[in-house]
Structure 1
Amino acid sequence: MSGRGNLLNLFNKKTRSSEISSSSEYYENDCGFNIHHSTSSGEFHRLPKDNIGSDLLKTIKNMDTSVGRGRAQFVQTFKSNETNLGKRKDDTSSIQSKDTINNESTSSLENSKVHNDEFFPNVVHGSKGSSVILSCNYIELKTDENKGVYQYEVRFFPAVDSVHLRIKYLNEHMDKIGGTKTFDGASLYLPILLENQMTVLVSKSMDTEVEIRILFKKKEPFKNCLHLYNILFDRIMKTLNYVRFDRKQFDPSCPKIIPQAKLEVWPGYVTAVDELEGGLMLCCDVSHRILCQRTVLDMLIDIYKKNINSYQDLVKKTLIGNIVITRYNNRTYKISEVCFNESPQSIFHTKTGPTSYVQYYTKYHNINIKDINQPLLLSIKKARGTPEDTENIEFRLVPELCYLTGLRDDIRSNNKLMREIATYTRVTPNQRKLALDKFYDNVSNTPAAREILDRWGLALFRNLNNLKGRQLDSEQIYFGKKVVTAGQNAEFSKDAVKNEMLEAIHLNNWIIIHFKTDLRAAISLLDNMKQCCRPLGMNISKPKIISLDHDRINEFIDALRRNIVMETQIVVCICPNSRDDRYSAIKKICCLELPVPSQVINAKTLCNETKNRSVVQKILLQMNCKMGGSLWTVKIPFKSVMICGIDSYHDPSNRGNSVAAFVASLNASYTQWYSKAVIQTKSEEIVNGLTSSFEAALNSYKKRNGCLPESVIIYREVQINWTIHCLEPWLMNT
């Protein structure tokens, strides 16, 4: 069900949901699988660590709150006469008391099909638009009725504190509990039901015996085993020799080479097991990863040749936070630091004694390191399942053996190269289907992969059935004096630059700051703005133009401080080149010290007279939004709703701290927004900062509209560890 359909069902009970089908440009090259406008009124704020969630209840009384995911599938509203959060059955509750055995779990095995009424009580099928037959990237997982996931509690007598020893003792009896298990030191999961309610095993430790009691607790339902199933598919990917990057797996055996840029594209997949209307399903989508064919050492040499004086700073800026791969073992590491005081000649300790990195790689990997004076790269990984104060695991890497992965800034700025990369990474629907078929065949034809599934009573089922969806009519786009149709491709960018804006802000008091050699770019900008502003419904007065003798950062900062006044609507800075430090300094002045909207322009973007008009049109649209105007809107079917968005950012160079960003709509056309950024330390829960932001957004909404919203919709970034359960304690009484 689409996000819009859920919204209509949630806020307008008379309207049915529907599905939006979008088309995209087709790219017919080999995809690598061997198959042929806003006002921002907010603040920057550091939060204390104390819990402020309890204060939110007073603010959000009598409100509905829903949480949206990436595909806009919204959960039921909390304010429902039929549902009471306080009495809701907790399907993920902890294990029962050690002395209690769940007798119900010994009943007959569950059916492999899931009852839709249990998991999806409010399934709504759309009626708007036209019916369309769709294919989906899901593979059905069949379950063996004679197997499942059985949970056991394991006790040791005498007590064994070490998790490592517990696992060791239990592994001595694999023949008695079967060859397949998942054990964390306390809870044991097996795909089989042991004969006895309690199984007693004995292991020897030194001169004493350790008694192991395995107590059957219950058979886990499928919906509680999704994490386990996802782990199983991670293991399957390893048997297929795929390389893991974040949550995605890539095939290093069939890269697509881009020789001019010395890049290669690895094809891969991202998989996830979930419980859906059709039962247990594996979602499998196509993904790609960019790898550099040049070593990190080659990059260090290039940086050194270009700028000797700031060599170390540039190296750290280029590498820290990025992911590299070592091809001798196809493992990935995130760079945490560059150790200029160490080299391959440095000594470290192993189980067999001290050795150098040169000797180590020669002995264990048969690799001769050529440059013995290069610095080392440091990668820090947190040990799994250990307390916070446990020492992290450190890896020293040799740049000569490392290759950078991902899209660097210089690649992103190269439009020609990005178009070439897109021929491999943007795949057609038909290519996606073929890639899905290839994945199914790889798993089915690999005995080791099949065995992993068989042990847990699982099997992939090639489901060629299509499903019915809904294709909505084209959306109407409302400009200032005209309504246009977005079309089947939802493309209306040309209409946006030739129609009057919904809310145009006239430029009466503004500033242009430029370096003296960029005078021509400043004149071209102003001339094109005067030509483009009238069709957009915007009037532009002559700005205050400031020419700088030097392009130093301090020159721009001083010019901003001297010329920004209360009446200034916006500041335009034309910079001779792209420099992050100068950009950051300008934004710091305009966002914190002297709050005023700002527009930073690279002079190189205004050097082509034939393209300047289209460039300036887009700049004008940005400036109008920054000053509080609106470009366009669409007809929203529900009223008195506040839509929120949440995202997070972590700067690799500032380890430990992250920034949580929060935005919320303030008006009925959803063109005015409140925003807030909160610094989060590593030990703080992100939900604390979001609670403070949410409360402030509600106050802003009430101040503008005279009342609180009746409902709230929250979109969150998928990787944020923040779910509907985080809100429940604060919404219990709503």
Structure 2
Amino acid sequence: MDQQPPKGRGAAILARLQAKKLEKSVGAESEAPPVEEPPKPKGRAAILQRIKDKKLLRPGTSSQDVESTAASVEVQQEEVESVAASVSSMSFKEKEPVHFKGEDGKPILLSANYIKLIVDKNKGVFEYEVKFTPELDAKNKRLRCVHQVTKECGLKKVFDGGSLLYLPEKITDTSKVFTTTIDGPESSQEVAVTMIYKRKKNMGERECLHLYNVLFKRIMHTLLYHQIGRNYFDTKHNYLIPQHKLEIYPGFAVSVDELEDGLMICLDTQHKVIRTQTVYELLNELKSAHPDMRRFKEQVVANVIGSCIFTRYSNKTYTIQDVAWDMTPKDTFPTRDGGEISFIDYFKRQYDITIRDLNQPLLIHRKSVMVPGSSEKVERMVCLIPEISYLTGMSDNMRNDFTIMKDVAQFTRVTPNQRIAALKTYLSNVKKCEQAQEILADWGLKVADDSLQLPGRQLENELVYFGDGKQVRSMNGDWSRAAGDNKLIGPVDMTNWMLFYTQKDTAYAENFVDLMCRLAGPMGCIIKRPKMVKLPDDRTDTYLKSFQENIRKDIEVCVFICPTARSDRYNVIKNLTCVQYPVACQVINSRTLSNQKKVRGIVQKIAQQMTCKLGGTLWTVRFPFKGWMICGMDVYHGGPNGQSVFGLVASLNESISRWFSVAVFQQKELSDHLKGAFTKALEMWRNVNGFIPKRIVVVRDGVGDGQLEQCKRYEIEQMESILKQLEFDTTICFIVVQKRINTRLFALGNGGCENPPSGTIMDNTITRRYLHDFFLVPQSVRQGTVNPTHYIVLHDTCGLKPDHVQRLCYKLCHLYYNWSGTIRVPAPCQYAHKLASLVGQNIKKAPSNQLSDKLFYL
């Protein structure tokens, strides 16, 4: 059997030897005078030279240049040690941390759900390359070899099954060979395992952080927590809510990251809501409600497909992607030993579970897995039994039920003091557990005794401006009373509008019109009585025909009062008014008008919303700059044909109160249609203002940590190229907004913890080590724990200071006209989110350009 040619570093070494022999043979035949050889390269230069030689001369070009196998292996071993020594001698200088700290605001003492991770300087993470002689193709054999070697040496390890090995100790400066024996199908096989030292890893490197997260995953399992999804839960100490067929598992989200002040563990309290109802019980309920098989299957698709289920026998979650109506538990599937077994026998044998209904359909979950001997993933199908599959989360009907949400909130709404207590309990359990301490000690790690105390700042409350020059200081991010008592800053008259309602909602419709006309004075506008259209029934076709018969070009806004909330009817109405007959539209559920005590406030908010849809503005805050365009961007997933919808919203005036909107269909999160949408926004700005914007600030939602670099190279470069193409001397500040984070901030005082006030800034210690970022708490929360928002300045040619960026983001949180208070993200982000959601979920077509300068999606 021919010996396999060497690969990787071995190939480079062999090529080097062949090149030397070739030089000698050529030099012996040549009569040219000898030329003085240049000095041999060292360090990195030596490695680069070997790579160059590898490119020039591939191994195996001439059989005459290769000596005996034993000699070549011996020479390769010497060269391997030489290269390993060169690599180990290299110094990898660690980057200095980035500081993005402001100064404005009054000091405030904060705490966070971060714990310092202390690293022993004498230990660390040492990276080795593993080679096997003879070569082993099977991953399980490589794992067994490394496991036997490290076990005999008493070493802890993390091995990926390929060639990378991580050890907590340094065993050699160059390379070391170990011999072990593994059992084969016919006889035992002796294998030489060569560990080549590469370098000591920096603590913040990606592989290193992954290793630490793996260690804490082991600790969570040691403490008897079960992983469900990404987080870990205590399935034995659950909370039962029997009246709603729900149970709640308490748990934690645990992650390790390198932050500005070093390695930190983020520990956040989590809860998993599990229904005690199985999919089988849900299928029976749907069958009773819909005896017709075709209608029954439609309801199953609507209620089951896409839902997440939980299997108690394995503590795993699955997303249901299909229902196999032609399969039952009596069907069989192949086993690893080549035989077949039925689902009934499998669950009885493996989990001692008896399947009762032998004719129920099976649930399908598809996943892609790696298989031995293949570099590509293969799709596998997992079949699940409805009878033992439990639904997770809450349905839309549950979420709309105030009683259910109130009962669930008793367990899931955790106060700051309760979160700190849970964090301390976890630390205590880790310190008491000998096995957990051993896992940490093996890698030179130690957990701090308590959470961090941090210096934060609170920005000054903003002045909110209304009509007639009135200004009100927002108290803890709320100005609800002022929004009802003061005139609008940009009112719009409603003199020609229509109201559609059914016979049974006549009283609600009359009361609504009366209140609208009475509220016109306090709002500072004129509202006349509408043309009222009474409908004989509430069928979708009736709304459609009546609208088409009565709509005219001079109609300003159409209002629909519907007796029930039906998505199909809502979609038809929005499609009519946003695509086919572009006009401002307001859909109201008559149930919201039934409470006589609150109806005035409700109608006032509806009137304000209608004003925005007509191009008016409600309030604003002071912006100390001119000529700036503020943009918001977000993406909605799940549009028609699997497409995503990219939403772009851009300001049109200096008070940042008028907006231009563009929605584009695309195939992925990062927009590849940004150029067209951004160009339209720039043209609209120039048409309205008569000049090009001096600076553009973009707040982008929906970008995770893994997409930051791609966003920088992809979206920001598109925007820069457009400005260059249009020859605009405009600078860009691009800010990524992340709201799905596990960071929690607590204000220290009064002998305990409480939620920090609105305007709290945290820009040190727990911020990212190499990013310009900060945390902002824009809202004031009295119940539960407030969620801060993470801001990352990904690109900035505007030269903005940290105080400027932080204050601007806080101001933008005041401008969302659906809420008279601050919101969690800047208003442009929320507008872009509402736009993309409406287009992708309801309209499913591009809206009319006639509505692009109005907030028609509120």
TM-score band, normalised by shorter chain: 0.7 to 0.9
Question: Is 428-437 or 505-514 further displaced after alignment?
Answer: 505-514
Q: Specify whether residues 305 and 433 from structure 1 end up closer, same or farther in structure 2 by C-alpha distance, changes over 3 A only.
A: same
- Quote the Cα distance in structure 1 between the aligned partners of 2:644 and 2:299: 22
Q: Specify whether residues 538 and 245 from structure 1 end up closer, same or farther in structure 2 by C-alpha distance, changes over 3 A only.
A: farther
Q: Specify whether residues 177 and 655 from structure 1 end up closer, same or farther in structure 2 by C-alpha distance, changes over 3 A only.
A: farther
Write the deviation string for residues 429-455 of structure 1: whole angstroms up to 9, x where unpaired: 211111111121222223333333333
Q: Specify whether residues 518 and 439 from structure 1 end up closer, same or farther in structure 2 by C-alpha distance, changes over 3 A only.
A: same
DSSP-derived class of the 1:577 partner: coil
Question: Is 330-339 or 447-456 further displaced after alignment?
Answer: 447-456
Q: Which residue of 2 aligns with 1:593?
A: 580
DSSP-derived class of the 1:582 partner: helix
Matched-pair contact (CA < 8 Å) for 1:142–1:460:
yes
After TM superposition, the structure 1 = structure 2 runs for residues 13-24 of structure 1, keeping only pairs within 5 Å, are none
Q: Are 1:256 and 2:239 an aligned pair? A: yes
- Quote the Cα distance in structure 2 between the aligned partners of 1:655 and 1:306: 30
- Quote the Cα distance in structure 1 between the aligned partners of 2:686 and 2:140: 56
Matched-pair contact (CA < 8 Å) for 1:640–1:709:
yes
After TM superposition, the structure 1 = structure 2 runs for residues 6-405 of structure 1, keeping only pairs within 5 Å, are 103=86, 106=89, 118-120=96-98, 122-128=99-105, 130-155=106-131, 166-175=142-151, 176=153, 178-183=155-160, 185-201=162-178, 212-224=193-205, 225-309=208-292, 310-351=295-336, 353-383=339-369, 390-405=377-392
Residue identity matched to 1:143: V
- Quote the Cα distance in structure 2 between the aligned partners of 1:628 and 1:585: 23
- Quote the Cα distance in structure 1 between the aligned partners of 2:113 and 2:131: 43
Q: Which residue of 1 aligns with 2:700?
A: 715
Residue identity matched to 1:416: T
TM superposition score normalised by structure 1: 0.77
- Quote the Cα distance in structure 2 between the aligned partners of 1:161 and 1:603: 68
Matched-pair contact (CA < 8 Å) for 1:177–1:194:
no
Q: Which residue of 2 aligns with 1:38?
A: none
**What is the CA-CA distance between 1:253 and the residue it aligns to?**
2.2
After TM superposition, the structure 1 = structure 2 runs for residues 503-522 of structure 1, keeping only pairs within 5 Å, are 503-522=490-509
Q: Which residue of 1 aligns with 2:471?
A: 483
- Quote the Cα distance in structure 1 between the aligned partners of 2:578 and 2:154: 63
DSSP-derived class of the 1:131 partner: strand
Write the deviation string for residues 522-568 of structure 1: whole angstroms up to 9, x where unpaired: 22322222233332223222323223323222222333334444333
DSSP-derived class of the 1:355 partner: strand
**What is the CA-CA distance between 1:575 and the residue it aligns to?**
1.9
- Quote the Cα distance in structure 1 between the aligned partners of 2:252 and 2:626: 40
Q: Specify whether residues 108 and 726 from structure 1 end up closer, same or farther in structure 2 by C-alpha distance, changes over 3 A only.
A: closer
**What is the CA-CA distance between 1:707 and the residue it aligns to?**
0.9
DSSP-derived class of the 1:185 partner: coil
Residue identity matched to 2:255: A
Q: Are 1:577 and 2:560 an aligned pair? A: no
- Quote the Cα distance in structure 1 between the aligned partners of 2:242 and 2:414: 21
Q: Specify whether residues 364 and 711 from structure 1 end up closer, same or farther in structure 2 by C-alpha distance, changes over 3 A only.
A: same
**What is the CA-CA distance between 1:405 and the residue it aligns to?**
1.5
**What is the CA-CA distance between 1:141 and the residue it aligns to?**
0.2
**What is the CA-CA distance between 1:184 and the residue it aligns to?**
5.6
- Quote the Cα distance in structure 1 between the aligned partners of 2:84 and 2:526: 77
Write the deviation string for residues 387-433 of structure 1: whole angstroms up to 9, x where unpaired: 99733232211222122112321121112322332232222221111
**What is the CA-CA distance between 1:222 and the residue it aligns to?**
1.7
Query: Over alpha carbons, which structure has the higher Rg?
Result: 2
List gaps (5 residues or longer) in structure 2. 1-49, 55-79, 725-796, 798-858
Matched-pair contact (CA < 8 Å) for 1:512–1:543:
yes
Residue identity matched to 2:456: G
Equivalent residue in structure 2 for 1:611, among 573, 595, 598: 598
- Quote the Cα distance in structure 2 between the aligned partners of 1:134 and 1:264: 34
After TM superposition, the structure 1 = structure 2 runs for residues 577-726 of structure 1, keeping only pairs within 5 Å, are 577-651=564-638, 656-681=642-667, 684=668, 686-690=670-674, 693-705=677-689, 706-717=691-702, 719=704, 721-726=706-711
- Quote the Cα distance in structure 2 between the aligned partners of 1:502 and 1:105: 68
- Quote the Cα distance in structure 2 between the aligned partners of 1:236 and 1:272: 12
- Quote the Cα distance in structure 2 between the aligned partners of 1:506 and 1:435: 55
Q: Which residue of 2 aligns with 1:86?
A: none
List gaps (5 residues or longer) in structure 1. 1-95
Residue identity matched to 1:538: C
Matched-pair contact (CA < 8 Å) for 1:109–1:146:
no
- Quote the Cα distance in structure 1 between the aligned partners of 2:161 and 2:698: 38
Q: Specify whether residues 186 and 398 from structure 1 end up closer, same or farther in structure 2 by C-alpha distance, changes over 3 A only.
A: same
TM superposition score normalised by structure 2: 0.67
DSSP-derived class of the 2:118 partner: strand
Q: Specify whether residues 584 and 177 from structure 1 end up closer, same or farther in structure 2 by C-alpha distance, changes over 3 A only.
A: farther
Looking at both structures, which has the greater relative contact order when contacts are Cα pairs under 8 Å and sequence separation is at least 6?
A: 1
Residue identity matched to 1:230: N
Residue identity matched to 1:119: P
Residue identity matched to 2:670: I
Q: Specify whether residues 108 and 501 from structure 1 end up closer, same or farther in structure 2 by C-alpha distance, changes over 3 A only.
A: same
DSSP-derived class of the 2:429 partner: helix
Q: Specify whether residues 608 and 356 from structure 1 end up closer, same or farther in structure 2 by C-alpha distance, changes over 3 A only.
A: same
Residue identity matched to 2:169: I
Residue identity matched to 2:499: I
- Quote the Cα distance in structure 2 between the aligned partners of 1:462 and 1:660: 46
Equivalent residue in structure 2 for 1:440, among 427, 441, 445: 427
Q: Specify whether residues 673 and 372 from structure 1 end up closer, same or farther in structure 2 by C-alpha distance, changes over 3 A only.
A: farther
- Quote the Cα distance in structure 2 between the aligned partners of 1:250 and 1:265: 10
**What is the CA-CA distance between 1:252 and the residue it aligns to?**
1.8
DSSP-derived class of the 1:621 partner: helix
DSSP-derived class of the 2:524 partner: coil
DSSP-derived class of the 2:523 partner: coil
Q: Which residue of 2 aligns with 1:457?
A: 444
Give the number of the structure whose residues are more often helix, by fraction.
2
Matched-pair contact (CA < 8 Å) for 1:338–1:377:
yes
**What is the CA-CA distance between 1:151 and the residue it aligns to?**
2.5
Write the deviation string for residues 337-370 of structure 1: whole angstroms up to 9, x where unpaired: 2223323233322235333222222221111222
**What is the CA-CA distance between 1:294 and the residue it aligns to?**
1.8
Residue identity matched to 1:507: M
Aligned residues: 628
**What is the CA-CA distance between 1:333 and the residue it aligns to?**
0.9
**What is the CA-CA distance between 1:139 and the residue it aligns to?**
0.3
- Quote the Cα distance in structure 1 between the aligned partners of 2:642 and 2:200: 40
**What is the CA-CA distance between 1:325 and the residue it aligns to?**
0.8
- Quote the Cα distance in structure 1 between the aligned partners of 2:175 and 2:525: 79
Write the deviation string for residues 589-615 of structure 1: whole angstroms up to 9, x where unpaired: 233333333222222222233332222
Q: Are 1:543 and 2:530 an aligned pair? A: yes
**What is the CA-CA distance between 1:156 and the residue it aligns to?**
5.1
